[in-house]
Amino acid sequence: MFPTKEYELNDYCINSSKYIIDNKTVLGTSAEDVTALTEKEAERAPAFKLAMNPTTKTVTTIAERDRLTNEELVIFRRIFGDTPDSKLSQAARDILLIPERVYTHVIVPLPKSSPIGKLIPGERLKHTINIVDSETGKKAHPHGTSACEIWCKKGGLAPVAEKDLLYVGSTANHSFTQTFDGTEAGLMVYYWIRWVNSKNEKGSWGQMFGGTVQG
């Protein structure tokens, strides 16, 4: 991002250091960085003139110019890294040669796996479902998903299609609890569960499981 030609780089250091020092409050630049930049520019500017003047240009003065310039660029990089994007106006970006960051959102596809649910037995008027991933065997939702949807059918024959089900809820945790009232004691409850992502895309249904409501 920094100019590569000597005179252009010199102009950049002069203009950018002045801009940062004059606008330190707006940019949120720390007092330590302002001091470091002020002192380094005070060293670099005369070293540049010595290295570019035919009467004082030597291997030593050129090396000193390059050393001080590189040290100042390190300070610039530190300041830029600590400056939030929200503090940078277009004018600041033009002067400091800071391009606007481009953020890309990588869309992760839904996994081919499905959730496996298991009821914890013996709980009165409550079903607690433990959930693991069919592929990894790990708890909670895998990469590419945001939650597990829980659907069920209470009583009667086992469901054979989505239209037979009622939505119960979703969870991003490794377990889910559904409570029942006393009139539902003894009912057989069938569960279907599946992964979903943040775009509400649906994964494949896991294997059906279920159990009776303990009274």
- % of the chain exceeding 90 in pLDDT: 76
**Residue 161 CB partners (closer than 8 Å, separation 6+):** none
Mean pLDDT of the chain: 92
Q: Which residue ranges make up each domain of the chain?
A: 6-96, 115-212
Greater confidence (174 vs 1) lies with: 174
The whole-number pLDDT of residue 85 equals 85
CA dist 27 to 16, 94, 98, 122, Å? 12, 14, 13, 62
Q: Which of the four pLDDT bands, split at 50, 70 and 90, describes residue 64? A: very high
The model's pLDDT over 38-61, given as tens digits with 9 standing for 90+, comes to 999 999 999 999 999 999 999 999
Is the predicted pLDDT of residue 107 greater than 80, yes or no? no
pLDDT digits 0-9 by tens, 127-152? 999 999 999 999 878 988 999 999 99
111, pLDDT greater than 70: yes
Q: Is the pLDDT of residue 99 over 90?
A: no
Q: What is the pLDDT of residue 103?
A: 62
Each residue's pLDDT tens digit, 163-208? 999 999 999 999 999 999 999 999 999 999 999 998 889 999 999 9
pTM: 0.53
How far, in whole angstroms, is CA 167 from its chain's centroid?
Answer: 31
Neighbours of 53 (CB within 10 A): 10
According to the model, what pLDDT value does residue 87 have?
86
End-to-end CA distance of the chain: 71
Fold for domain 115-212?
Immunoglobulin-like (2.60.40)
Residue 104 predicted with pLDDT over 80: no
- The pLDDT of residue 105 is 64
- Residue-level pLDDT at 81: 87
**What's the CA gap between 40 and 152, in Å, rounded?**
70
- The proportion of the chain whose per-residue pLDDT surpasses 70, expressed as a percent, equals 98
The residue-averaged pLDDT of 153-168 equals 95
